[in-house]
Amino acid sequence: MAQVTSLVTGRAFLEGPRWHDDALYVSDMHGDAVLRVAEDGDVSTVVEVEQPSGLGWLPDGSLLISSMARRCVMRFDGSDLLVHADISGVAPYEINDMCVDRYGHAFIGQFGYDMRAGASPVPAPLIRVDADGSAREVGDDLRMANGMVITSDRSTLLVAESWGKRITAFDLAEDGGLSNQRVWAELPDYPDGIGIDTEDGVWVASPVSDRFVRVVAGGEVTATVETPGRHAIACTVGGSDGHTLYMLTAATLGQRDESKAALDSAVETTRV
């Protein structure tokens, strides 16, 4: 059994982890802040944002943040927080995780339906926001696009579909174009956030079954980390040597009031 260590505790609801510039960056979605976590667990606030989720960086080093309820991509240059793109015109309901490529194309998932009101899920496209802030729909009929990663050769975007129980792949062009949509892996559980390792194995957070699994193209599960009693929300691979799995866990499933009251979201780690 993998040895799991708690690195950070006592947060509202952590999401969108990214290893960047020798540190872990996470969104405290219901703490309304983006946090920087050093390898020793020291936590600092990067910027306060209303309901942040996905994170990424532009080529100039500015931080992009998907703000779920505002349906905006925010840009933080280290001093000022500005609206990079208002995507409410193409996203009728909440937006979700985000992945930014090396050219500054941001790919954002969306719910596509009014989940909070109990509506039935419907397919919806990804949204691409370019470095100039322009937005458009890309990809087709994704069943609640959630976690996203780009493969090591930078040629493929992988998207976890929460209701689809699968990871879908797209060929990713330098101009941000997506093509050749296909199923990369069928999954045993409903996925939330995902992370990718140096061998392009994808770690999948499975909040319903309280575990993280590693899958490869075709769907074979090659490793599992159980988190009994704690929901597996999102993950990323990083650390100074690239072999630490950062796992975001919580006792709640993201309900805002419950999460703010419980303050039990955590960053846990294990070696992979």
State the residue for tokens 């993950």. 235
CATH number of 5-271: 2.120.10.30
- Report the alpha-carbon distance of residue 265 to residue 135 in Å, rounded: 32
How do the pLDDT tens digits run along the chain, 272 residues long? 689 999 999 999 999 999 999 999 999 999 999 999 999 999 999 999 999 999 999 999 999 999 998 999 999 999 999 999 999 999 999 999 999 999 999 999 999 888 888 888 899 999 999 999 999 999 989 999 999 999 999 999 999 999 999 999 999 999 999 999 999 999 999 999 999 999 999 999 999 999 999 999 999 999 999 999 999 999 999 999 999 999 999 999 999 999 999 999 999 999 99
pTM of this prediction? 0.97
Nearest to 58 by CA among 106, 98, 95: 106
Delimit the domains of the chain by residue range: 5-271
The pair of structure tokens assigned to 125 is 């496209």
